[in-house]
Amino acid sequence: MKILKSTFNNFNKIGEALSYITNFEKMEEVRKQFEKVAENTKDRNQKAKLKQQLKSSTNIEKLAKDQGLQQDDDFLKHLAFVFDYGFQDQFIVQMPIGEYTFSADCKRDDFREDEHSLVRKYSRFSEKEFVLLGTVAQSSGDPVDYEEVNYEDAKRQPPKEAIMDLVGALSVVESQFSGKLENEIIIDPIAVYREI
């Protein structure tokens, strides 16, 4: 999750860097052509127009945007915040088997290798088979559906009852991120490994 959050936070910088690298030769060619034309042009207005054209055609931010490698900064900031709030640096292992998906929320510290190494070796969607050993924590059945909190009633409730209602409302928000899917089985993991 750290890698994904970093990607959200640095998306536009990464986009600009990729655009610069992939368009470097074209931009150098445009610069060389500009220099040739500028040498032969005496008119200051014409030179100013050429300079503006050069600036426009070598604008990295615009090139990145044209390639779909730029997003609104506020959108990315809010996306990173929601992602951070919702997933709180979880390391989730999911294994689709038949019509079910088995999910385990693992502790990063329990792995021998860090997340970066695991993702580089196996990818986010591994082609290799892993074994997930654990006990079932949640399975089938409908997710808990909490009633909407009536804040007018909450004003007249004893504090403990009002807090319990707020906890219920919070669990609805949390379930958007960590709630169980209809075909998902949540596993309390003991081990995740590859057989050799």
pLDDT at residue 146, as a whole number: 47
Q: What percent of the chain has pLDDT over 90?
A: 15
**Bridge partners, residue 97, by sequence:** 100
Read off the tokens for 110. Answer: 């329990």
Number of Cβ within 10 Å of residue 187's Cβ equals 23
Give the strand order in the sheet containing 91-97: 91-97, 100-106, 184-193, 131-138
- How far apart are the C-alpha atoms of 173 and 188, rounded to whole Å? 22
The Cα angle at residue 150 between residues 145 and 156, in degrees rounded to 5: 130
Does 163 or 79 have the greater pLDDT score?
79
Each residue's pLDDT tens digit, 97-141:
889 989 898 888 888 888 888 888 888 888 888 888 999 998 876
Q: Is the pLDDT of residue 52 over 70?
A: yes
**Bridge partners, residue 185, by sequence:** 102
Backbone phi and psi for residue 95, each to the nearest 5 degrees, phi listed first: -130, 110
- How far apart are the C-alpha atoms of 173 and 184, rounded to whole Å? 19
Does 30 or 65 have the greater pLDDT score?
65
Q: What is the pTM of this model?
A: 0.58
Across all residues in the chain, what is the average pLDDT? 81
- How far apart are the C-alpha atoms of 4 and 23, rounded to whole Å? 26
Each residue's pLDDT tens digit, 88-108:
777 888 888 889 989 898 888
Each residue's pLDDT tens digit, 149-171:
455 555 566 766 766 776 677 66
Residues in contact with 2: Cβ distance below 8 Å, sequence separation at least 6, in sequence order: 89, 115
